[in-house]
Amino acid sequence: MENQEKEEIKYIITLDADTDLILNSAFQLVGAMAHILNRPVLDAQKNIVIDGYGIMQPRIGVNLDISYKTLFTKIFAGAGGIDSYTNAISDTYQDNFQEGIFTGKGIYDLKTYETVLEKQIPENTVLSHDLLEGCYLRCGLVSDILLMDGYPTKYNSFMNRLSRWIRGDWQITKWLSFKSPFNLLSKYKILDNLRRSLIEIAIIVAILYCNLIGILDAKKIWWSVTILLGIAIFPYLLEIVNALIFRKEGEEKQKTFAPKISGIKGSLLRVLLTLRMFKL
């Protein structure tokens, strides 16, 4: 009886506890997976999806009641800021290679999932396995379908979540080996996550090194420290420049229902919170 019921299940939609399906989004996800051009094609030798998609990732938005719950969410949740994960409208991998990155919320083909991932990931060895699933099953980004998600309400909870993700990224480094069935693009996704996880610590180490050189050799280091901090806040500087230069003539500040902090003020506050990480 259980096997019969299992055979009748074709797709599974996976959500987090704080993720909500909006009207018709489930039907749209099923429709995207069932499209003839998206049906997964397996490589029998490598046991991975090489064409079509075994898993699909929708666009993720932030729930309205969360976006203005605390000062932190007013600054970051509404504008994106430090968290591109909740603002995936366009994706470099999908646009150029027709393959996106899975972030844990979406729909997958049950039969393909079980066929490909059986005994591939040892139990209790990988904290965050979303990227692995996306690489094995070939993830597609469907940016015209939206799901609503929660958001960390405090800076510390955001950093704890980020720390958990980074630990998961480093736990999957063994899939970079020559024995891995992944193609070069999938391995680059893993490496790129590792690279991004090292940016902040690399900046901190570089600042400490510059200060040490300044103390020992009595050299001026302000310019090198400024450059390093500029790297950390570069995305927010672009926001400010964009707001100042590309503002249309006669354009007025838009008022929104949610009291989020956006515009130049929001960008400056995101700069300050980012610099806080360096204990300045």
Q: What is the pLDDT of residues 167-194, one digit of tens each?
A: 989 999 999 988 889 999 999 999 999 9
Of the candidates 8, 38, 1, the residue with the CA atom closest to the CA atom of residue 110:
8
Task: Determine which of 43-47, 86-90, 201-205, 230-234 has the lowest per-residue pLDDT on average.
Answer: 86-90
What does the mean pLDDT of the chain come to? Answer: 80
Higher pLDDT, 173 or 250: 173
CB 261 within 8 A of CB 74: yes
CB 33 within 8 A of CB 118: no
pLDDT above 60 for 279: no
Q: What is the Cα–Cα distance from 221 to 214, expressed in whole angstroms? A: 6
pLDDT above 90 for 226: no
Q: What is the Cα–Cα distance from 38 to 52, expressed in whole angstroms? A: 4
pLDDT above 60 for 87: no
pLDDT above 80 for 271: no
pLDDT above 70 for 7: no
One-letter amino acid identity for 4? Q
pLDDT class of 51 with cuts at 50, 70, 90: very high
pLDDT, tens digit, 9 for 90 and up, residues 117-174? 988 888 888 888 899 999 999 999 998 888 888 888 887 888 888 888 889 899 999 9
